[in-house]
Amino acid sequence: MFDLTTEQQKAVSCGEPVPFVLNETECIVMRKDVFDRMKRIAYDAGEWTPEEMIAMAKLAFDDADIAGPIE
């Protein structure tokens, strides 16, 4: 398990995605209600590569993020 910084906790509580790296794997933590909404909009049961899924997640977050794109 890992701990979020105070800044990260505030971002998540405001509905913003927080990127982090876990064991060399790029991840994003977000509130469950935000994830559930995005899942309904963007869910595709097709066979996507991990790179395609990451690219689509970034696009979805960029569209949903009023503060701007994820770097």
- In this prediction, what percent of the chain has a pLDDT beyond 70? 80
Give the range among 1-15, 18-32, 55-69 with minimum mean pLDDT.
55-69
Q: Label residues 6-27 b or e (16+ Cβ within 10 Å = b).
A: eebeebbeeebbbeeeeeeeee
The C-alpha atoms of residue 13 and residue 11 are separated, in whole angstroms, by 5
- Whether 2 has a pLDDT exceeding 80, the answer reads no
CB 29 within 8 A of CB 10: no
Stretch 22-43: mean pLDDT, rounded? 84
